[in-house]
Amino acid sequence: MRETKSVFTFDEPIERLWSAVTVYEVLVHWLADEVRGRPKVGGEFSWTWKLGLEGNFTSHGTYKKIEPLRELVMEWKDHPAGDVFLQLLFESTGTNTSRLTIVNGGFPDNESSNVWLESAKDAWDGQAVLLKEFLKQNPDISKFMKKT
């Protein structure tokens, strides 16, 4: 199986980065138009993008592993390339700096999956840029979170 891997540094404390990636009320501001499912091992999630004339695209998956502030692993249930997973590794690199490693893998070892692998890398690299920009523009992301 093949995978793509990218590493990004953030001028953010790890707690803030973790929240931006795991709280669905925050995810809708930088990842997808609609997000369902809270992170819970075995729990399901869905992300929907509204693509205008092309309609909506929804992706479904399951949370496989959650280690708060360290690792989040999700597996897609409906990816055309098969059993594809997303692993997010979080690392504190200082008081107000952190690193996010994005591994998207499980792609078949054949040439026809090249387009999926390249698209996945481009998409997640682009999402990391959006996440950085979102965090920069929103010093207080708690305003997006539901109060309990």
pLDDT digits (tens, 9 = 90+) for 78-117: 777 778 899 999 999 999 999 999 999 988 888 877 888 8
Give me the residue label for tokens 């090249």: 114
| Residue 91 lies inside a defined structural domain of this protein | yes
User: How far apart (Å, rounded) are the C-alpha atoms in residues 12 and 54?
Assistant: 36
| Residue 123 lies inside a defined structural domain of this protein | yes
| Residue 28 lies inside a defined structural domain of this protein | no
Domain range enclosing 7: 2-23+64-139
User: How far apart (Å, rounded) are the C-alpha atoms in residues 121 and 146?
Assistant: 32
- What CATH number has the domain bearing residue 130? 3.30.530.20
pLDDT digits (tens, 9 = 90+) for 22-52: 998 899 899 988 989 889 999 999 988 888 8
Q: Total structural domains in the chain?
A: 1
| Residue 96 lies inside a defined structural domain of this protein | yes
| Residue 77 lies inside a defined structural domain of this protein | yes
Q: pTM for this one? A: 0.90
Positive or negative, the Cα torsion across 91, 7, 46, 142?
Answer: positive
